[in-house]
Chains A and B, each alone.
Chain A
């Protein structure tokens, strides 16, 4: 029996990493928000790796944080280890990576949702999307509750028609013994939304007390304290180490001997899996000349014996899993607490979305996270906050938040999703960002705080403090360019102590000196001049912006060149059959994707430069004709 269960502004279906951000953003923007989840004990669940961040993903976390999201703060407060990766490379690819205490992460996020004003959190399985007059108007749960809302955000993760596969065992299911969501897929199909099927997997969890750590190498966290959030209040952190061991010939032999029982190779798994996260069986087959593969043993939390076996994602039968684990140094007597498994699930082919993450088919219906074909908590969170903001903007008839490829990784990701053909779960990588040097994790606040403030998710104090930082950075940069270091005996002595060459007779600007490879900002402070006392994050910005100024300018010039096509908007109602001179293939793609700008059109596979010229001419014709009509 269906019954009227309540009225909200926005309903978020799912409380994973996308759903939490979407719900919080919507509620914080003053919308009455309902977040529905299959299981209240699994809010913000990390069903795979207990880690947040890493290259490109850390960038996403910081961007969400700058926009006023929660993932950064939640990670900072529940992390049990942090490391800055890629420190041997340039600042644009430095990447913070945290090991989180999974349960604490869930609990703190759930509590954040629970205490959020204007947000109701309920346990329910959504079966149906309600549509009236072509627009979304609510959802119905499996227990018959009908909730009304002006906008709905779907963040259903891997739960849509989920199927778990372990060896020859296969059953409809979802992570951690939960139900899949079966009817929602059908409801989406009825609304004319095309679904695809992906596969992903996770390794076994093993018992800490059954591991001999003396046979592995320790991987400690960094001594220096780092935080994701620009406004974090965490000042100290206990660092629990990870451990490293390797597979060997025996491991590989066991895998190869049991391939006939591997669903990936028997054809039992049809969904496409991610190449960056292959199962151990795939790695052993594809790179057969590699004698050993790395395996990291990572703690899942402070108060649990479960350890995550990174590098060993698998859907081999349970007995094979145990046997192969026990071939590795330190794991000879290991006890498995949960087996690894593969999971297949439905996703929405994301070229059916707009940049705002609203579906083109149903106004008011937004989607975010794994349902859009992505993978990763960070990717989900970044889409979640965008979808939550845009659901609120939709209700208020405001312009949607659309981040461009030139201002955020989030923008790169969403543009890729809606423009490209996604044929494996999409993971953010720094190589996907063409303006990587501009989109650093260290400047996410400078890039996006302003936007978060305009939207209303960032407090005025935080905005002012970012503006203050910007001002200090600019002033200090100017000082370094302006100040000429004279050649004195004292200066010469200090320069030699700093192990850098002498400066020319006419002196050198401090900025010029800082650009030397061996120089860092802190060393400048030793020179006999008056230096301002600046906060560490200001010094960091100054150093990066001065040292890499030449390259940053180069990328800014690239952005400038691309701007013309990006700014050329394509009207939503454009009829591509009327654009004479387009190739048939390009026309077909353009009709499906309906790009928002000529720049986006140019990124569509099979749209050629000639098609773009033709499109530009048509748009000009169109514009003139419209003008005539008025």
Chain B
């Protein structure tokens, strides 16, 4: 059986001290050799099943992370293939960087449950265990499918869809000329192909760059803090920021104009949206208007609703509740430090508002109830009520890998035309680029291509 080499982060993302990147497949050792610099001049290949200390390095030879690495030779491994496990510092940033290095050297990002699937197919697991592998594949894939679809609504995926459409249009023109040479169709000359390809390539490369800088792909659970004026939103944000290490500065190329803040709650990154707005005017609704707010809320994975315990519920609060609808939300009743006699919101009112969503009594000012808040957020994510960061991270790395693959094929197509390779041969590379993007958008059936040919061109005897 010919298998490719797969890799993934195999520990749950969290604040645990260590995270593991696992590589399995025939090229595991070779890939590791290119990115690992062992300390004490040890050769990791000779240290079968033993931990080796060293550094993962990037393409320029600079250290990415200090790691402990373990090489396990086939067949006595989980998947019965060569496996390398890289123990990195926990946290999303180092793990992602190490994984990306592994992928850059030729590994493929593993599908959900793929290690276990290989373990079973290679005879490592028994029949009873097969069922759980199927469950894993099914649930995880459906989870990430859901994620892929939810991401399709975003600008990024709209962009990918559009680029894929343009590639399809180009391919249809080339193919129509090949299959119907005697029709008077607009010729797919090298000139035409180069021009379109270069345009699309430029867009792809731009997207890859922005993926690197983290502008588009900032991982995290998008969170919005909402409430009427002076209810204590910015104090809440500041309190959360003070207590939790923001990892945003770890990402190279982060620019200052980003209007998001990332806070790390027990290893789960929360991306607080529109924090600039929170700080300046202290009121999101007023500043950007109701429609915009509704849009922002729609984009959020989690809504933190802040209410003022002292001033009680106003019409404005109810208006905000309307905007939130049935979104995943946490209700924070702020300013509990004012004392019980001043409370104008009753426990029962709050429960009614929240509609079975959690209600917490806090004081942002005095840091009361913040631990509980963090606990609650953690539970919501880990309990699966909110799409977790694993999925987001995986989706992001997948997107980037796909964009790079598409760009690579398209560059080859351009090179081919420049070297006077016939268009039908170059079409192979254009098709590969189109299929690469299809890994995100989901469709690359030949039927799509034929539909496009007959849609765009008048053909027939």
Contacts and interface: CB of A to CB of B under 8 A. Distances in A.
Interface string A268-279: 000000011110
Contact of B450 (A88, A278, A429): A429
Contact of B120 (A49, A86, A609, A617): A617
B2 A564 contact: yes
Interface string B408-423: 0000000000011111
B454 A276 contact: yes
B117 A517 contact: no
A56 interface: yes
Contacts of A287: 458
B425 A431 contact: no
Contact of B179 (A283, A429, A580): A429
B183 A283 contact: no
B127 A621 contact: yes
Bin the interface of chain A by size: 35 or more
Given A86-B178, A613-B113, A620-B120, A276 B460 contact: yes
Contact of A617 (B117, B175, B458): B117
Contact of A431 (B121, B133, B175, B459): B175
Contacts of A296: 182, 461
Contacts of B458: 283, 286-287, 290, 293
Given A86-B178, A581-B137, A430 B424 contact: yes
A581 B428 contact: no
Nearest to A567: B1
Contact of B181 (A85, A437, A620): A85
Contact of B137 (A420, A436, A610): A610
A236 interface: no
A563 B3 CA distance: 11
B182 A617 contact: no
B418 to A, nearest CB: 10
Interface in B420-461: 420-425, 428, 445-447, 449-450, 453-454, 458-461
A78 interface: no
Given A437-B428, A613-B111, A613-B113, A431 B460 contact: no
A431 B449 contact: yes
Contacts of A610: 137-138, 141-142, 145
B165 interface: no
B179 A55 contact: yes
A93 B131 contact: no
A551 B421 contact: yes
Interface in A185-211: 203
A551 B425 contact: yes
B4, B181, B450 pick with most chain A CB within 10 angstroms: B181
A203 B423 CA distance: 33
B127 A625 contact: yes
Nearest to B182: A85
Interface string A551-595: 100110000110110000000000000001100000000000000
A88, A283, A431, A581 pick with most chain B CB within 10 angstroms: A431
Contacts of A581: 134-135, 137-138
B428 A616 contact: no
Contacts of A431: 175, 178-179, 446, 449-450, 453
Contacts of B38: none
A526 interface: no
B349 interface: no
Nearest to B133: A617
Contacts of A614: 134, 137-138
B121 A92 contact: no
Contacts of B182: 85, 294, 296
Given A290-B458, A429-B179, A92 B134 contact: no
B130 interface: yes
A86, A564, A608, A613 pick with most chain B CB within 10 angstroms: A613
A578 to B, nearest CB: 12
Given A55-B178, A276-B454, A430-B178, A563 B460 contact: no
Nearest to B131: A580
Given A276-B460, A311-B460, A89 B454 contact: no
Contacts of A605: 445
B30 to A, nearest CB: 17
Contacts of B135: 581
B295 interface: no
B322 interface: no
A26 B392 CA distance: 59
A294 B458 CA distance: 10
A89 B424 contact: yes
B424 A624 contact: no
A421 B196 CA distance: 32
A155 to B, nearest CB: 23
A406 interface: no
Contacts of A518: 420
B184 interface: yes
A432 interface: yes
B425 A92 contact: yes
B454 A275 contact: yes
Nearest to B138: A581
Contacts of B450: 275, 429, 431-432
B447 A420 contact: yes
Contacts of A86: 178, 181, 424
Interface of A: 49, 55-56, 85-86, 88-90, 92-93, 95, 203, 275-278, 283, 286-287, 290, 293-294, 296, 310-311, 313, 420, 429-432, 434, 436-437, 517-518, 548, 551, 554-555, 560-561, 563-564, 580-581, 605, 608-610, 613-614, 616-618, 620-621, 624-625
Given A55-B180, A290-B458, A560-B2, 11 more contacts: A55-B178, A90-B421, A90-B424, A203-B461, A286-B458, A429-B450, A431-B175, A561-B2, A564-B2, A617-B133, A624-B127
> 4 closest Cβ contacts across the A-B interface?
A90-B422, A517-B420, A610-B141, A581-B134
6 contacts: A86-B178, A90-B425, A275-B459, A278-B459, A618-B134, A625-B127
